[in-house]
Amino acid sequence: MSSERGTTSEPGRNVAAPGSQLPKAYVPADVESRIYECWLAADVFAPDGAGANSEPGKEPFVVIQPPPNITGALHLGHALTLTLEDVMVRHARMEGHPTLWLPGLDHASIAAQYVLDKIIAADGETRESLGRERYLERMWTFINETREVMLGQERRLGASADWSRLRFTMDEGSAKAVRVSFKQLFDEGLAYRTEALINWCPGCRTSVSDLEVIPTPETGTLWTIRYHLVNETTGAPDPDAWIAVATTRPETILGDTAVAVHPEDDRYRDLVGRKVRIPFVDRDVSVIADAVVERAFGTGAVKITPAHDKDDHQTGKRHGLPMLTILGDDATISGSGTEFDGLDRYEARKRLVGELEAMGDLEGARPHEMILGRCQRSNDVIEPRLKTQWFVKTEPLAASSLEATRGGRTTIVPTRFEKTWEHWLTNIHDWNVSRQLWWGHRIPAWYCPDGHVSVSSEIEGPAACDTCGRPASELTQDPDIFDTWYSSGLWPFSTLGWPDDTDDFRRYYPGTVMETGYDIIFFWVARMMMLGIHLAEKPPFRKVYLHGLVKDPTGQKMSKSKGNIVDPLEAIDQTGADALRFALLNGTSPGNDQKFSSERLEDGRNFANKLWNATRFVLGARPASIDDARASRRESPDPAQLGPAEQWVLARAAATVAAVDRAYEDDNFGEATRVLYDATWSQYCDWGIELAKVRLADGSLPDAAREATWWSLVSALDTYLRLLHPIMPFVTEALWASLPHAEDDPELLIVARWPRVGKAAAATDGVVDEVLTLIRGIRNARAEAGIEPGRRLAASIRAPAEMAGVLSALQPAIDRLARVDSSLSDAAATEADPSGRLAVLAGRVSASLDPAAGDSAGASEEVAARERQRLEKELAEVQARLDGARSRLANPRFTERAPAAIVEGARKLEAELAEQSARLRAQLGA
RNA sequence: GGGCGAUUGGCUCAGUGGUUAGAGCACGCGGUUCACAUCCGCGGGGUCACUGGUUCGAAUCCAGUAUCGCCCACCA
């Protein structure tokens, strides 16, 4: 294997030598950066890296990430995205797939300009004062700073992305893809330039797409205004005849070109076709009939301003009305030819209303709840207005996207988002891609003095006008740039070399899974899908995985303005990257929002610490008979030497592999996390290690037995660390390095093999569980009776003969874990316990404990009373369950219709409960 | 106006038809056992939002209602 980019043997040694002792405390900061350096040095991130170690014949696994905006620091949402993607990639890598996770950053044109505008404002500068060229220079300086910060943050989180392929949506590869794709769309008639009503943000001074307009509820005013009818003979407005219109935007009166009423509205039937005079502009316009008018709303008559309202625009088009623009780019009144020209839209509104009132034409004004469109970026009220801009025709693209999801070529996780997807793509409008901004890809369209359009995919532009052949020198390029999502939409293939026919493109397109938050399903996912199918001829990914949003502990969306942001870096500093990743995964499910709190971080930190200490114990517990040399190679525990506890430990590990595999199949990483937390903590540590301690400490056993116990612990721990690696990569890598490895293991866990589901659980599995229940029962009885934890009690344990083998093997463990000195007997030899003893029932096993202190006879009154109480409680529970089981069995419809296995189970249960009930009664002397 | 989601112990969440609904945190009691007090043991705590239906059996399936949240939408 090549080692030009770093040796494959060094890194492991840098982590820790196998068998070496671990420091007493786990300090993530001491481990994480060192581990990351090891991965980098081993060159394992690239699918074809020197240490990538993928299995021949395995399909590449390609994860597509939303490149974060290059505007500054990462937030928790990014951390969640990166964590999920990293989990997927690490899992696939361990399964032997060549994995491609191509990292990148988005130039975020409008968002970046918004941020930069604020920064330069602090220096007293503006976009205009700098000019296009200097502004863009300033932008490059800015993003060159943020870039490194952001990439550093991604690494600290553990992202195992292929940094050698880092891309940026403003690099030349993206630029070329933008030009070529747009040229193609233009040639196909899918990109066109037209004057249309667009969403104008007066603050950002650009148009924005429908998606960037946030409908915001607001209490406005609904004014009722009289438009006087024009006398048909004199041509003068009639002071006594008018039609009253209702409006929330009086300033648009200046652009009115009609008044509409409902065609079947008897109140206005006679007025249709008449003229009314628009105040201030003294324009006579027609009263028209159109079914869009809601008769019940306002006065039932609507003023029509086709150049400044979406509905009115449609109405205007239907009726061939003139469309008068009366607002400038800065949202001041402009071109109305009135005294209001130059006034801000709201100032003009105020004055207009005042004057109307003075004229006696203001009939009324009342508060009105309404929805206002505001700019997603600047929060300015969006102004619909006419502009000549570039659009992408979406219907055919949307149709093939729908085909891809309906046909299952691309699936969406969780599936409920398919409905949203369907609805949006079915009702999609053409996409306005022009932006009147500077930071972004310039639209590759040139215009000649005769108005001909030439679109070119060449970096220098067209040599001459495509239509009339005028030379390039006479052409001018469109000053606008593309919507930032246009280049993002090309991401899955522009990053692989498209439009060139590259090896990367052939090998890694389409991607396996595209992972992102559901909040950008339209902005980004749908656009990638539409453009990918059309331009790269295949849906860009096979699976869409959508995660939920990270909210603050009260369920509020995190935002800078609310001040409830959690900085992922701070979290990592405090508790480690593994803890953060754990916190982001544990207790979550696909597509569902999560509330993030510091408690969850602590859970993760505690868990990492637990793993650390468990491993530390295992390393320190190695039997002396295994010397350092032997301990450097992992051995399988000798099957002949396995006791019930060892079999149990191995069986639990095997069951965990199966459960985790199932969780991955279901794309449920929260479930995988939960399963592993429980398996390692509540099973492996609480029982596996505790049981093993007994045997490891038993000098009377042959070396081979103790060795088997230790190898069992090592084997299970090895499995758990592998399973946990995608979730908590740093601590698992560090710990795994210190464990003995198998012959064919690589140096680093990151490229170690994912565990395979082992053989079926050992036959003793269920019996061991009964013993654990017994131990718990004894502990409970002791605690309830108030017996000092340290005191050893004499216990006689009874169990059916078939359990005798396991029981005697585990007797020392029972004694240690339950603090008893036990004697075993056959269950058949049962007789009522002498009074004053504690009775413990655990399924088929029972125990009788003597609570008396070693030197004094008989239990105290208090202990006896508490014991009686406990037994009564237990009896009540058993009895309730027994009654339930009996009534179920007494129901013939149950016994007839329920599956045989269920009925059989109920019978067995009934028998068991009856037996327990009887024993408890006997014990209580009832 | 349409659609989606949530509603389970004090809190955060699992659990999609089958015995006794789970976990972590918080809470109470007890613990310096030689991996871990970022820990260990034990315990209390839920009529699974409500109503009706399907079923031998419902937190789980169906219908409806309520509350909260989100998305989409051209009543000025």
**What is the value of ipTM here, to two decimals?**
0.95
Residue A258's DSSP bridge partners are A286, A304
**Rounded to whole angstroms, how far apart are CA atoms A207 and A201?**
6
Determine phi and psi for A220, rounding to 5 degrees: -110, -160
Cis peptide before A510 (omega within 30 of 0): yes
Look at residue A837 in the predicted model and tell me its pLDDT: 81
Higher-pLDDT residue of A445, A597: A445
Q: Which nucleotide is nearest to A587 (CA to C1')?
A: B13
Give the nearest nucleotide to A913, CA to C1'.
B19
Closest nt to A617 (CA→C1')?
A: B35
A417: pLDDT confidence band, cut at 50, 70 and 90?
very high
Nucleotide nearest residue A884, measured CA to C1': B19
Could you give the angle at the alpha carbon of A155 between the alpha carbons of A520 and A485, nearest 5°? 25
pLDDT at A717 over 70: yes
pLDDT digits (tens, 9 = 90+) for A355-376: 999 999 999 999 988 889 999 9
* pLDDT above 80 for A889: yes
Tell me the mean pLDDT in the region A428-454: 96
Closest CA to A577 of A162, A154, A166, A163: A154
> Peptide bond preceding A499: is omega within 30 degrees of 0, i.e. cis?
yes
A916 CB below 7 A from strand B atoms: no
Q: Which residues pair with A303 in a beta bridge?
A: A259
Judged by C1' against the alpha carbon of A607, the nearest nucleotide is: B38
Residue A1 above 50 pLDDT? no
Q: How far is the CA of A596 from the C1' of B45 (A)?
A: 25
Q: Which residue has the tokens 């216990």?
A: A795
User: Cβ of residue A430 near strand B, that is under 7 Å?
Assistant: no
Instruction: Report the percentage of chain A scoring pLDDT > 90.
Output: 76
Is strand B less than 7 A from the beta carbon of A668?
A: yes
For B41, nearest residue by CA–C1' is: A779
Determine the Cα–Cα distance for residues A180 and A191; give it in Å rounded to an integer.
12
Q: Is A261 near strand B, with its CB below 7 A from some atom of it?
A: no
pLDDT at A13: 42
Q: What is the pLDDT of residue A829?
A: 52
- State the residue for tokens 């005769």: A450
Q: Given a cut of 60, is residue A2 above it in pLDDT?
A: no
Nucleotides of B under 7 A from a protein CB: 2-6, 12-15, 18-20, 23-25, 29-31, 33, 35-36, 38-43, 55-57, 70-76
Q: What average pLDDT does the segment A59-71 reach?
A: 95
Distance A472 CA to B32 C1' (A): 87
pLDDT band at A761 (very low <50, low <70, confident <90, very high): low
Q: How far is the CA of A690 from the C1' of B32 (A)?
A: 19
Is the C-beta of residue A418 closer than 7 Å to nucleic acid chain B? no
| Count of other CB atoms within 10 angstroms of residue A640 | 8
pLDDT of residue A4: 34
Beta-ladder partners of A833 = none
Q: What is the DSSP letter of A865?
A: H
Phi, psi for A847 (deg, rounded to 5) = -140, 150
How many Å from the CA of A551 to C1' of B50? 28
Q: Give every CB contact of residue A138 below 8 A, 6+ residues apart in sequence.
A: A116, A120, A130
Question: Is strand B less than 7 A from the beta carbon of A86?
Answer: no
Using the CB atoms, write b or e for A243-261: b if 16+ within 10 Å.
bbbbbebbbbbbbbbbbbb
Q: How far is the CA of A544 from the C1' of B3 (A)?
A: 20
The two structure tokens encoding residue A874: 């237990």
Three-state DSSP at A809 gives helix
Q: Check whether residue A770 has its CB closer than 7 Å to nucleic acid strand B.
A: no
Q: Residue A194 to residues A198, A242, A391, A432, A494: CA-CA distances in angstroms? A: 11, 38, 8, 10, 27
Residues lying close to strand B (Cβ under 7 A), chosen from 97-136 of chain A, are none
Q: What percent of chain A has pLDDT over 70?
A: 95
Identify the pLDDT of residue A3: 35
Angle (CA) A890 A894 A898, round 5°: 145
pLDDT given for residue A828 in this prediction: 58
Residues 157-196 of A with CB under 7 A from strand B: none
Q: Model confidence at A830, in pLDDT bands (50, 70, 90)?
A: low
Q: Name residues 567-596 of chain A with a Cβ under 7 Å from nucleic strand B.
A: 587-589, 592-595
- In angstroms, the CA A330 to CA A204 distance is 9
Which of A4-8, A524-528, A616-620, A843-847 has the least mean pLDDT?
A4-8
Which residues face A446 on adjacent strands? Answer: A454, A477
Task: For residues A165 and A615, give the distance between their C-alpha atoms in angstroms, rounded to a whole number.
Answer: 36
A244 contact to strand B (CB, 7 A limit): no
How distant is C1' of B2 from CA of A415, in Å?
19
User: Tens of pLDDT along A226-277?
Assistant: 999 999 899 999 999 999 999 999 999 999 999 999 999 999 999 999 999 9
Distance A150 CA to B23 C1' (A): 35
Cα–Cα distance, A878 to A916 (Å, whole number): 7
Q: Token pair for residue A882?
A: 């027994």
pLDDT at A73: 83
